[in-house]
């Protein structure tokens, strides 16, 4: 391990387990020095730390964090880019939970670490810049999408830093970053959002950004770095399967037969059967009439709804790991065996297996950090989901999976995407909402738009700027001839529908508190 202490611009001290006199490196550009040391010390962890945090650096913890080599960690109580970043990116990587290990490409020069092998692999696509923060954010933004695991990690410091450094970027850098890392249309949308919501007219930053080109990174270079975790994540290796079902007897039977043919058998298969009709009874006779190589835990309920069904199922889990599945899927006979191998290989507690329709083809690639969560094709270490529940405010709407994924992330558990294994989703004809739910807002004189459950998710997890950006893009996407016939009426109606959605989202949120 080699530690570079710096004053934000240049190196002030180097502490290393390697022999050698590094006094000639003092006052060098920190980025250039990192490249040089990575070339010379190819199997070392390279750590940077602002000189003000020297006594606060958690040196002993860093070695444990690197249970494999494809990591980039950093931490600061604030971000280099301020909240205006939400005007250009609609993802969970913007609003960071600073209390836990949280997936994000937003990096900081305050403190961080990377393995030399990663820098060496990517050096042809990287530029040694004077602005260390900009370099880190640019690198992580590109590399995260290509297999580098990037996190805000508070364990890098022994104590939470008392220094709340104000973000140092300005509008010139924000527009430059947008042009270099997003599609060109986003600089126009950024300009529009700043003008609309903040009454700013950043003409010069906008024009200046036009001279920059899009930055990319070679996917293959990171694929060459082996991903083999030494983290002891698997102890017993037992696994439960959780399946909510309603009215799809034949499809569910096929899933059970698929599970019975696995090379690695589950310990329990938890089936939550729903039928909202009064006096109805279970029609899953095959549960008792056939012999299964696992315990089938069958629970019947008259209350329809995937959130409620999954919550019942969560309370019945016993095994070390859980496969959260749909009732109309098809998969290979080694899916569960490969899933346990994936837990061992990645050392990560949560991952999604690539799920596709018959018309789709999955291109296999190495594990990636993933911004979504799907409760129909997820593998989770069961200890991670203790005390978690699907939020009932999302019942019969949209967003319950995304909300559950955010609950996991806010506990410090990242979600990976595994495409070397696949699940076929049949999308059975009886899928979706097979009972007609009565929504609280369906008789409103003004129809809320977007759906209140979509709005609820945004109120819970978006920054103010992200919600504003969603509002402006929704407005633009829904423009039609009515706008040109009567623009004032069109805008008024749009605002009314938006405000009604916000109202019902707050009602749903209060019901959960």
Looking up tokens 């003000």 gives: 52
Predicted TM-score (pTM) of the model is 0.94
Q: Is 461 helix (H, G, I), strand (E, B) or coil?
A: helix
Tokens read off for 22: 């590094």
- Residue 430 — pLDDT band, cuts 50, 70, 90? low
Write the pLDDT tens digit of every residue in 342-372.
Answer: 999 999 999 999 999 999 999 999 999 999 9
**CB contact at 8 A, 416 and 349:** no
Q: In the chain, count H helices and then E strands.
A: 17, 16
Write the pLDDT tens digit of every residue in 377-395.
Answer: 999 999 999 999 999 999 9
**CB contact at 8 A, 367 and 416:** yes
Q: What is the pLDDT of residue 433?
A: 44
How far is residue 59's CA from residue 491's CA, in Å, rounded to a whole number?
A: 56
Tokens read off for 55: 């006594």
Q: What is the pLDDT of residue 431?
A: 46
Would you say residue 313 has pLDDT above 90?
yes
Would you say residue 434 has pLDDT above 60?
no
Q: Mean pLDDT over residues 271-281, rounded?
A: 89
Handedness of CA 122, 128, 129, 133 (dihedral sign): positive
Looking up tokens 């950090």 gives: 369
Q: Mean pLDDT over residues 246-257, rounded?
A: 94
Write the pLDDT tens digit of every residue in 29-80.
Answer: 999 999 999 999 999 999 999 999 999 999 999 999 999 999 999 999 999 9
Which of 262-266, 292-296, 418-422, 478-482 has the lowest average pLDDT? Answer: 478-482
Which has more confidence, 252 or 8? 252
Would you say residue 513 has pLDDT above 60?
no
How far is residue 512's CA from residue 71's CA, in Å, rounded to a whole number?
A: 36
**CB contact at 8 A, 18 and 41:** yes
SS (H, E, C) 51-109: HHHHHHECHHHHHHHCCCCCEEEEECCCCCCCHHHHHCCCCCCCCCCCCCCEECCCCCC
Closest CA to 239 of 378, 375, 369, 376: 378
What number of other Cβ atoms are within 10 A of residue 440's Cβ? Answer: 13
Write the pLDDT tens digit of every residue in 28-40.
Answer: 999 999 999 999 9
Determine the Cα angle at 495 with ends 490 and 499, to 5°: 150
Q: Which residues does 494 contact at the CB level (< 8 Å), separation at least 6?
A: 449, 475, 478
Write the pLDDT tens digit of every residue in 193-231.
Answer: 999 999 999 999 999 999 999 999 987 889 999 999 999
Write the pLDDT tens digit of every residue in 459-477.
Answer: 999 999 999 999 999 999 9
Q: Sheet of 45-50: strands edge to edge? A: 11-16, 2-6, 45-50, 111-115, 71-75, 149-152, 102-103
Q: What is the pLDDT of residue 432?
A: 44
Q: Mean pLDDT over residues 148-158, rounded?
A: 97
How far is residue 270's CA from residue 241's CA, in Å, rounded to a whole number?
A: 6
**CB contact at 8 A, 237 and 130:** no
Determine the Cα angle at 365 with ends 265 and 413, to 5°: 65
Count of CA atoms in the C-beta half-sphere (13 A) of 479: 10
Q: What is the pLDDT of residue 352?
A: 98
- Residue 164 — pLDDT band, cuts 50, 70, 90? low
416-425 and 329-331 beta bridge pairing: antiparallel
Q: What is the pLDDT of residue 508?
A: 92
Q: Is 12 helix (H, G, I), strand (E, B) or coil?
A: strand
Q: What is the pLDDT of residue 427?
A: 87
Tokens read off for 12: 């002030």
Q: What is the pLDDT of residue 443?
A: 87
Closest CA to 46 of 12, 27, 71: 71
> Prior bond to 210 cis, omega within 30?
no
DSSP letters, 259-327, are HHT-SS--SEEEEEEE--STT-----THHHHS--SSEEEEEEES---HHHHHHHHHTT--SSEEEEE-S
Mean pLDDT across the chain, nearest whole number? 93
Write the pLDDT tens digit of every residue in 314-328.
Answer: 999 999 999 999 999
Q: What is the pLDDT of residue 18?
A: 73
Which has more confidence, 437 or 150? 150
Q: What is the pLDDT of residue 130?
A: 92
């Amino acid at each position: 391990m080699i530690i570079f202490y710096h004053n934000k611009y240049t190196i002030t001290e180097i502490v290393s387990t390697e022999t050698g006199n590094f006094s000639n490196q003092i006052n060098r550009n920190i980025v250039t020095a990192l490249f040089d040391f990575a070339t010379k010390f190819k199997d070392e962890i390279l750590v940077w730390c602002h000189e003000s945090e020297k006594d606060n650096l958690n040196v002993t913890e860093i070695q444990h964090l690197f249970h494999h080599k494809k990591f980039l960690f950093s931490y600061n109580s604030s971000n280099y880019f301020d909240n205006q970043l939400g005007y250009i990116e609609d993802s969970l990587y913007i609003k960071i939970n600073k209390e836990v290990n949280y997936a994000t490409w937003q990096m900081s020069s305050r403190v961080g670490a990377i393995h030399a092998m990663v820098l060496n692999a990517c050096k042809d696509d990287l530029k040694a810049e004077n602005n260390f923060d900009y370099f880190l954010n640019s690198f992580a933004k590109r590399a995260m999408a290509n297999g580098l695991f990037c996190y805000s990690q508070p364990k890098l410091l022994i104590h939470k830093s008392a220094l709340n450094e104000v973000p140092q970027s300005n509008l010139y850098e924000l527009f430059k970053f947008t042009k270099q890392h997003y599609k060109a249309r986003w600089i126009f949308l950024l300009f529009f959002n700043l003008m609309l919501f903040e009454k700013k007219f950043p003409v010069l930053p906008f024009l200046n950004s036009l001279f920059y080109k899009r930055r990319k990174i070679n996917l293959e270079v990171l694929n060459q770095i082996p991903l083999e975790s030494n983290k002891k994540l698997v102890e017993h290796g037992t696994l439960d399967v959780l399946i909510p079902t309603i009215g799809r007897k034949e499809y569910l039977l096929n899933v059970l037969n698929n599970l019975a043919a696995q090379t690695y058998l589950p310990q329990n298969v938890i089936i939550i059967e729903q039928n909202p009709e009064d006096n109805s009874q279970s029609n899953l006779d095959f549960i008792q009439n056939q012999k299964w190589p696992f315990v089938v835990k069958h629970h019947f309920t008259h209350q329809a709804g995937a959130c409620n069904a999954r919550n019942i199922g969560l309370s019945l889990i016993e095994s070390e790991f859980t496969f959260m599945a749909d009732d109309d899927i098809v998969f290979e006979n080694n899916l569960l065996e490969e899933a346990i191998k994936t837990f061992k290989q990645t050392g990560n507690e949560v991952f999604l297996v690539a799920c596709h329709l018959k018309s789709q083809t999955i291109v296999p690639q190495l594990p990636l950090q993933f911004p979504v969560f799907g409760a129909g094709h997820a593998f989770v270490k069961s200890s991670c989901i203790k005390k978690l529940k699907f939020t009932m405010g999302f019942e019969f709407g949209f967003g319950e999976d995304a909300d559950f994924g955010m609950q996991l992330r806010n506990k410090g558990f990242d979600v990976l995407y595994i495409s070397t294994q696949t699940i076929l989703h049949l999308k059975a004809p009886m899928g979706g909402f097979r009972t007609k739910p009565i929504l609280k807002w369906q008789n409103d004189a003004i129809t809320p738009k977007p759906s209140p459950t979509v709005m609820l998710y945004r109120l819970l997890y978006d920054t103010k700027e992200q919600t504003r950006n969603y509002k402006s893009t929704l407005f633009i996407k829904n423009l039609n001839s009515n706008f040109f016939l009567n623009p004032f009426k069109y805008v008024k109606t749009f605002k009314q529908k938006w405000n009604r959605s916000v109202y019902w989202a707050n009602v749903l949120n209060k019901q959960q508190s």
